[in-house]
Structure formats: C-alpha cells, structure tokens
Structure 1
Amino acid sequence: MLSDRIEGKWIDTFTKALEFCKVAEGEEVAILSETQSRDLNVHLTELALLRLGARPFHVVLPTPPQRSPVPVRSTGASDSVRGLGPVIKALKASSMVVDLTVEGMLHAPELPEIISDGARLFMISNEHPDALERLLPDPALTPKVKAAVKMLRAAEHMTVLSKAGTDLKVDLRDAPTAGVWGYCDRPGTVAHWPGGVVVSFPGAGTVNGTLVLDAGDINLTFKRYLQDPVKLTLENDFVVDIEGRGTDAELLRRYFAAWGDKNAYATSHVGWGMNPGARYEALTMYDQRETNGTEVRAYAGNFLYSTGANEFAKRYTLGHFDLPVGHCDIALDGKMVIEDGKLLGELA
C-alpha cells in the first residue's frame, strides 16, 4: 500500500500535465469529482492549477447508489452527474473541466453537452499518483498517435491474427476513431491521462471471428492476468460462445450473464496501445484499489478489444470488459501495422 500523502514531486507532475493542456493564468477550471473520488488526486489537481495561476472551483457530487447486479469497474461512463442540469451548466460554462470521477466521463451521456460550447475535458484516470508520475504525457508520442488515427480512419478492414488462435475481422467503414496522447490543448477536445491509445467504434454487425485470450493476457475489469486460455466466438459484434476451462472462463461467463443484457456481450471498441512508457506488468505492482488499469490499456503493441456500450452502434449498457491482448498481428486493408505485438513503421 502506497501512502496517500501529498508530495511536492506529485504537485510538479500534475502541474506539468496541466501545462500540456495549456492552462492559462486566470482561466476558470472546474474540478469535477464525487464523494468516492481519490482525494489525493483532487487535492493535487487544485494545487497544480493554483500554481499555474488558474481559478479552479470544485463540483463535488455524491457517489450515486449502485443500480447494477454486479460491481461496476473501469467503464469510462461515470453515473455521478445523472443528468443534473445545474452541474452540466457549470461545467459547460468553464473553459476546462478536470474529470476526477471514479469511472470517468469519457462515455458518459452528458459529455457531448458539457463540451458543446468549447470546454475541453481532461480525465485524470483513477490511478495512484505513483503511476501518473511515471506516465507524464510525452509530446513525442502525439504525432505517432495521430498517424495511427489517420490510418484507421482511412482503412476499410482490420484483421487480427495470433498464434494462440485469434482470427478476427472488423469492418471499419464509417467507424468513428479517436486517439489519446494524454493531454487536451484545444477547445472541445477530450483526453485522458495516462494516454497512448487509439480506438475505433465499429458500426452494427461489423465484427466477426474468434478472439483467443491466452495465458498472460489481461482482463482489466477484474484487474487480472489470465492463467488459462479463453476463446471468444463473435458473430455480428456479439460474443456468442465462451470456451475455456478454469477460473478465467468461469469469471467471464458469470459476469457477462449477470447483466441479463444482450448488449453487454457486444463489441464496444477495437484498437491498440502505443505508449512505450506504459508497463504490461504494472498490475503486479499495485493493490487493486490503487489502480484503474489505464496504464495497461496503453502498453505498446497490445490489441485492445472491449465489450459493452457503443453509442455509434446504438447500444448502451454498463457491462464492460477491456481486454488487452498480446502478441497479435494487426493489419489494415492487408498492410501490417503491428506484428507479434510490435508496432511497425511510423507507429514504432
């Protein structure tokens, strides 16, 4: 267990991250949190903003009652705002929102309205600052992530293969794509820290094949490295079969089924990690309450497959899995961009 003490070095870290977001002297910045947010990060954000001469103010919401049959983890869709008009107006009126909610506002239904007048939203993932310190945004990563976004937006098809047995095909035509490099410096933009990922949200009926989660791959909802292989069969976006023996397969089956919602089995987004500073082995270093797993989503070369909500395919659910898969070959329109988990060309 790490100590939740304010350290001068962490104020420096948060200050640098906010400088990348071009926080200006006198800028009115909303700090959005909830009663179960990590207090240490809320305090560090306030101190860093004050150091930069900004005018921060707090919007603190009660963490809402649980409405789900199972624990909700790492969805990126905080339920804390719950459509509350005065809160949305206050956030929308700011030029910047620092999001410190437990789950984050990336996929929250209120996000489009909050940024509609140009507010930029900077989500600080619910990580201990020990991890954030190591993963300070690096501007050298930005052009590589932008190149990956350009590739995905230009591509019509993605294929994913692995020696473990993965054989997945994704139709990318008209699929919205986003890249995150760890800071937001333009009006109306959204970013999360740690960054270094690129993802596409495929349209309805566009994902088919098999995805094999091999031993050593990661289930970030459970914050667990798999001990045994699990084979997922996908038909028209939906996981229709889960093969495997042992704890990992059983956990997947039970959590999927607990929602009683077909959309929990659907594809949310596909993409890959690009951050050379993010460590695959990071989950072994932190207690579960100390990490949200964003670092592991971003480790360079992983194929990031996620299930759950996909607003672009008109599907909504709180059931969600983020599954970073290693040692895959990823090709766009037949051109390899990742080979055996290694970034190629201008992405490397």
Structure 2
Amino acid sequence: MAKTIPQLTELFKRELEMCDVTPDETVLVVSQAESREPYIEAFKNAAEVIGSTVSHLELPGLKHPMFPYGGSPDSMPLSDVDEHIQNDPAARGALENSDFVVDLTAEGLIHTKARTLTLENGARMISCWEPASILEQMFPREDLRERVETAEQMVIDADEMRVTSKAGTDVTVEVGQDPPTVPQYGYTDEPGRWDHFVSGFIAFYPVDGSQNGKIVLDAGDVILPLRRYVDNPIEFTLEDGFITDIDGDGADCALIESYLEMWDDEDAYAASHFGWGMDETASWENIAAYATTGVDARGTNNRSQIGNFMWSTGPNRFVGRDTRAHLDFPMRNCTVSLDGEVVVEDGDVVDSRLTPNR
C-alpha cells in the first residue's frame, strides 16, 4: 500500500504520465488547509521527476458540508475559493497560465471558478482526494478509457434511456441531440478537460424535463455524499424532470426528504445526470470498510462500480440550474436500455463492447 512519500511519488508519477505531462509544461498543485499534506509533496516531487516546472497554490477555505447557509440558497455567500479567485489576481493568473492543474483541495474545485479558468485556457485538470489504497485499487487503465468512451458514444447515438429493476424502478429519459456527457476514467490528456483520479463511469444530462417514471432505491443502494447504505426501499416519482413524491419508511427516507426540504428551492427536486458504472476494480463495500478507519473516502467506488446505475438530483449547468442541493444515488441490480437495447442487465454489463478485458 502506497503510504510513504517515495511510494506516493511513484504512484503520482504514473498518473501524470497517463495524463501526458511533459518536461516543457508547467504543473500547478492546488491545496487548502485540510488537504492531505503527503499528496502535496508527492505530486510536486512527481512533476519534478518528469522535469516539469512546478508551483504550489494554497487557497483559503475549508470543506463545507453541502447544506444551505441560513436555510436559503439566496443567503449563501460565494464559496471561499470563488471569492479568493475573484479578488486575487496572482491566484487567478496561476490557474490561467498553467498547463496542468492538480486539485487537492478539501472543498474540491469542480464547481468553482478555478476549474472554469483552468479549462477555458486549454489546461488539463485532475482532482484527487481518495485514500492512497483506493488510488492503487482503481488506478486508471487505457482499457477502461476505451470502454467509457464507447459507452459515451452509445449514449450520444441513442434517443431514449429506460431503467428498470425488480425492486420497482421504471423510468425513461430522452437523451436528445448532442447530450452533455461526463465520461470519467481517472486521467486526462486532452486540452481543456477535467477528470477525477480515480473514477470509471459514463454520465450524461438528459433533455431537461424528460425524466418520467419511478425510481426505487433498494436495500444496499447508496446515498451520496451522505455516504449511507439504504436499509429500506425508497420510491421516487419523477414527473417532467422533477421529483414529485418520495415514499418510504425509516431514517434514510426521512433524511432525504429533510435534506431536500431544507434548501427551500424547487430546483433541489430536479433530476440531474444519469448513467452507469464501468470500473470492475471498484468495490461496493468501500464506504462501510473505510467508516471503521476514520479515513475520508467519498464514494468513488460506488459511483464507478461496474454495472451500477447512478442518477442524481439538483444542478445542471447546461440549462442554467445552479442549485447546490445535490445527491447522487448509485444503485445495484438495475437494467439499463438504450433504444430498447440492453447494455446493463440486473446490474451486470452485458454489451460485449463494454465488458472488461480480463
């Protein structure tokens, strides 16, 4: 298990090489006070071994729970990161002028101006937070990328996705022309592209308002970022892209209902991205295993678990919906069809184009 700085440096050097980082490029490592200190040192070391010019930017701010400020989205100030980027020309310039950015922040830059500035200028960017053991377990592979990109093209070519399950799920969404897609395979070598080190799934944003039917979370399915396994079935009714009813017993259902209600924002109930997992190295039991260690693992295994169906609530920047109320629901044992062709059956990827090379 990669724990020491030399071991981490070698692991991160492999990742930077996957990202095609070269000696003539500038690498910026971005952190916050709560970032993993060994990761900062090891990523800097790895870039120096490659021969790149390396710098370090420490941003203010702490990891905020995904709750509203003052109970209303209107009362929520800019995040610490956004406010700093807006007011600090040096920080803004560092992001704009780097070729490759490593996001090690506790808050995460994915929904900030820092990410926008980086990608708009053609740089590549990865975010990394998971424990080293997970980075080793799910380390990116070219085969995974090929399968994720194949899945992405299958989505683009489709008109409709339907998801069913023996637990009662039966929901359809319209894919639309040129749907916004989010292929993640753990590294990036393309200008202007972000990825999460590690991950392995395909997600997309359906035609807004086209999500209709029922989705039933069954026992063992996951609520993220709350990092809970569901104990009892929870049924969501979706009508024209919004959750109109939530029905279930137990603490998990009550927790979801109260979480969505606390935002006082109808967009919290909107359906967001849909997709499925592609990584055969991911493990569903990860959250439970790390809960006993006190190590902060954020559910990458569940989002990426091969054959899981994942849908989410809340934001969709492609239609201007910027609510911070956001939940991901990775689900097992679902059947996913594109235009009637089954690609995932009862939680198993069955399309030969998407199965791993073993």
> Normalised by the size of structure 2, how large is the TM-score?
0.89
User: Which residue of the partner structure matches residue 75 of structure 2?
Assistant: none
User: Which residue of the partner structure matches residue 41 of structure 1?
Assistant: 39
User: Which residue of the partner structure matches residue 205 of structure 1?
Assistant: 209
- Asked if 1:314 is matched to 2:320, the reply is yes
Alignment match of 1:262 (pick from 254, 260, 266): 266
Q: Map 1:76-155; keep pairs closer than 5 Å.
A: 80-82=81-83, 83-84=85-86, 86=89, 87-124=91-128, 126-155=129-158
* Structure 1 portions without partners, runs of 5+: 72-76
User: Kindly tell me: are residues 171 and 268 of structure 1, through their superposed partners in 2, closer, same or farther at Cα, counting changes over 3 Å?
Assistant: same
Equivalent residue letter for 1:32: V
Contact 1:10-1:133 within 8 A present in 2 as well: no
Pairwise CA distance, 1:313: 2.3
Contact 1:181-1:197 within 8 A present in 2 as well: yes
CA distance in 2, matches of 1:42, 1:266: 37
Q: Map 1:1-348; keep pairs closer than 5 Å.
A: 6-63=4-61, 68-69=68-69, 80-82=81-83, 83-84=85-86, 86=89, 87-124=91-128, 126-174=129-177, 175-287=179-291, 289-344=295-350, 345-348=352-355
CA distance in 1, matches of 2:162, 2:130: 32
Contact 1:6-1:44 within 8 A present in 2 as well: no
| Corresponding residue SS for 1:301 | coil
Equivalent residue letter for 2:16: L
User: Kindly tell me: are residues 129 and 267 of structure 1, through their superposed partners in 2, closer, same or farther at Cα, counting changes over 3 Å?
Assistant: same
* CA distances 1:90-127 after superposition (whole Å, capped 9, x unpaired): 21211111111224233334533321221111111x21
* CA distances 1:247-287 after superposition (whole Å, capped 9, x unpaired): 11011011111111111111220001101111111112213
User: Which range moved further: 24-33 or 110-119?
Assistant: 110-119
CA distance in 2, matches of 1:88, 1:160: 43
Pairwise CA distance, 1:89: 2.6
User: Which range moved further: 56-65 or 211-220?
Assistant: 56-65
* CA distances 1:29-81 after superposition (whole Å, capped 9, x unpaired): 1111222222232222112212222221111111169583499xxxxx97623
Pairwise CA distance, 1:335: 0.8
Superposed CA RMSD in Å reads 2.2
* CA distances 1:177-217 after superposition (whole Å, capped 9, x unpaired): 12111111121111111121111012321111111000000
CA distance in 1, matches of 2:123, 2:354: 30
Contact 2:167-2:218 within 8 A present in 1 as well: yes
User: Which range moved further: 173-182 or 39-48?
Assistant: 39-48
Pairwise CA distance, 1:153: 0.7
Equivalent residue letter for 2:82: V
* CA distances 1:279-299 after superposition (whole Å, capped 9, x unpaired): 111112213652111122101
CA distance in 2, matches of 1:180, 1:256: 27
> Normalised by the size of structure 1, how large is the TM-score?
0.92
CA distance in 2, matches of 1:58, 1:257: 40
* CA distances 1:289-328 after superposition (whole Å, capped 9, x unpaired): 5211112210100001111210112211111111101101
| Corresponding residue SS for 1:330 | strand
| Corresponding residue SS for 1:306 | strand
Equivalent residue letter for 2:68: S
CA distance in 1, matches of 2:80, 2:354: 35
Contact 2:5-2:41 within 8 A present in 1 as well: no
User: Kindly tell me: are residues 303 and 91 of structure 1, through their superposed partners in 2, closer, same or farther at Cα, counting changes over 3 Å?
Assistant: same
Equivalent residue letter for 1:42: I
User: Kindly tell me: are residues 78 and 232 of structure 1, through their superposed partners in 2, closer, same or farther at Cα, counting changes over 3 Å?
Assistant: farther
Aligned length: 340
